[in-house]
Amino acid sequence: MPKQINVALIGNPNTGKTSVFNHLTGLNQQVGNYPGITVEKKEGICKLPRGLKAHIIDLPGTYSLNASSLDENLVIELLLNKNDKDYPDVAVVVSDVENLKRNLLLFTQIKDLGIPTILAVNMADRMERKGISLEIELLEKRLKTKIALVSARKKTGIENLKELITQYGTISTEPCVNSSSIDPTYFDRLRKAFPNQSLYKLWLVITQDVNFGNLNRNKIEHTNGFSPKKKSDLKRLQQKETIVRYQFINGILKEAMTVDVNAAKDLRSRLDRILTHKIWGYVIFFSIMLLIFQAIYDWSSYPMDFIDNTFASLSEWIKTSLPPGVFTNLISEGIIPGLGGIVIFIPQIAFLFFFISLLEESGYMSRVVFLMDRIMRRFGLSGKSVVPLVSGTACAIPAVMATRNIEDWKERLITILVVPFTTCSARLPVYLIIIALVIPDERFLGVFNLQGITLMLLYLLGFGMSVFSAWILNKILKIKSKTYFVIEMPDYKLPMLKNVGINVVEKTKSFVFGAGKIILAISIILWVLASYGPTDDFDNAEEIVTERYGENLAPKDFENQVASVKLENSYIGLMGKGIEPIVQPLGYDWKIGIAIVSSFAAREVFVGTLATIYSVGSGEEKTIKNRMAAEVNPILGGPLFNFASGISLLLFYAFAMQCMSTLAIVKKETNSWKWPILQLVIMTGIAYVAALAAFQFLK
Partner 1 sequence: MIQEILVWTTFLIAVGFLIKKFFWKSPKKATQGETSICGKSDCGCH
Q: Footprint of partner 1 on this chain (CB under 8 A)?
A: 35-37, 67-70, 73-74, 77, 210, 323, 325-328, 330, 404, 407-409, 412-413, 517-518, 520-522, 524-525, 528, 601, 660-661, 664, 668-671
Phi-psi region of 302 (alpha: psi -120 to 50; beta: other; left: phi over 0): alpha
CB atoms within 10 A of CB 374: 13
The least distance separating partner 1 from the CB of residue 220, rounded to whole angstroms, comes to 18
Q: Are 643 and 698 in contact (CB under 8 A)?
A: yes
The least distance separating partner 1 from the CB of residue 664, rounded to whole angstroms, comes to 8
Phi-psi region of 156 (alpha: psi -120 to 50; beta: other; left: phi over 0): beta
The least distance separating partner 1 from the CB of residue 37, rounded to whole angstroms, comes to 5
144: DSSP letter = T
**Residue among 296, 319, 361, 649 nearest 498 (CA):** 361
CA distance 39 to 61: 12
**Cα–Cα distance list, 566 to 325, 333, 512, 550 (Å):** 17, 15, 32, 18
CB nearer to partner 1: pick between 545 and 665: 665
Burial tier of 643 (Cβ tally within 10 Å: 0-12, 13-18, 19+)? middle
The least distance separating partner 1 from the CB of residue 73, rounded to whole angstroms, comes to 5
CB nearer to partner 1: pick between 161 and 518: 518
Q: Which helix (H) or strand (E) holds 94?
A: strand 90-96
Helix axes 231-256, 100-111, angle to 10 degrees: 120
**Cα–Cα distance list, 428 to 456, 611, 615 (Å):** 11, 16, 22
| Residues constituting the chain | 699
CB neighbours of 273 closer than 8 A, spacing ≥ 6? Answer: none
Q: Are 633 and 586 in contact (CB under 8 A)?
A: no
The least distance separating partner 1 from the CB of residue 661, rounded to whole angstroms, comes to 8
The least distance separating partner 1 from the CB of residue 381, rounded to whole angstroms, comes to 15
The least distance separating partner 1 from the CB of residue 126, rounded to whole angstroms, comes to 35
CA distance 594 to 522: 12
Burial tier of 328 (Cβ tally within 10 Å: 0-12, 13-18, 19+)? middle
The least distance separating partner 1 from the CB of residue 671, rounded to whole angstroms, comes to 5
CB nearer to partner 1: pick between 404 and 427: 404
CB nearer to partner 1: pick between 552 and 671: 671
The least distance separating partner 1 from the CB of residue 38, rounded to whole angstroms, comes to 9
CA distance 86 to 6: 6
CB atoms within 10 A of CB 513: 10
CB nearer to partner 1: pick between 367 and 412: 412
CB nearer to partner 1: pick between 326 and 693: 326
The least distance separating partner 1 from the CB of residue 410, rounded to whole angstroms, comes to 8
The least distance separating partner 1 from the CB of residue 660, rounded to whole angstroms, comes to 6
The least distance separating partner 1 from the CB of residue 388, rounded to whole angstroms, comes to 15
CA distance 699 to 697: 6
CB nearer to partner 1: pick between 153 and 412: 412
CB nearer to partner 1: pick between 450 and 520: 520
CB nearer to partner 1: pick between 330 and 682: 330
The least distance separating partner 1 from the CB of residue 396, rounded to whole angstroms, comes to 16
CB nearer to partner 1: pick between 138 and 521: 521
CB nearer to partner 1: pick between 69 and 167: 69
The least distance separating partner 1 from the CB of residue 415, rounded to whole angstroms, comes to 12
Q: Are 212 and 147 in contact (CB under 8 A)?
A: no
CB crowding 224-249: b at 16 or more within 10 Å, else e? eeeebeeeeebeebbeebeebbbebb
**Residue among 374, 378, 385 nearest 277 (CA):** 374
Q: Where are the alpha helices (DSSP H) in 344-494?
A: 346-362, 364-378, 386-391, 396-402, 409-418, 427-438, 450-476
CB nearer to partner 1: pick between 9 and 518: 518
CB nearer to partner 1: pick between 323 and 550: 323
CA distance 572 to 531: 9
CB nearer to partner 1: pick between 77 and 305: 77
The least distance separating partner 1 from the CB of residue 504, rounded to whole angstroms, comes to 26
CB atoms within 10 A of CB 579: 15
Sequential DSSP letters for 466-486: HHHHHHHHHHH----------
The least distance separating partner 1 from the CB of residue 327, rounded to whole angstroms, comes to 4
The least distance separating partner 1 from the CB of residue 35, rounded to whole angstroms, comes to 6
Task: Name the strands in the sheet holding 146-149, side by side, starting at the edge strand that comes first in the sequence.
Answer: 29-33, 40-47, 53-58, 4-11, 90-96, 117-122, 146-149
CB nearer to partner 1: pick between 160 and 328: 328
CB nearer to partner 1: pick between 517 and 699: 517
**Cα–Cα distance list, 675 to 385, 463, 652, 653, 681 (Å):** 18, 20, 21, 20, 10
CB nearer to partner 1: pick between 68 and 133: 68
CB atoms within 10 A of CB 588: 25
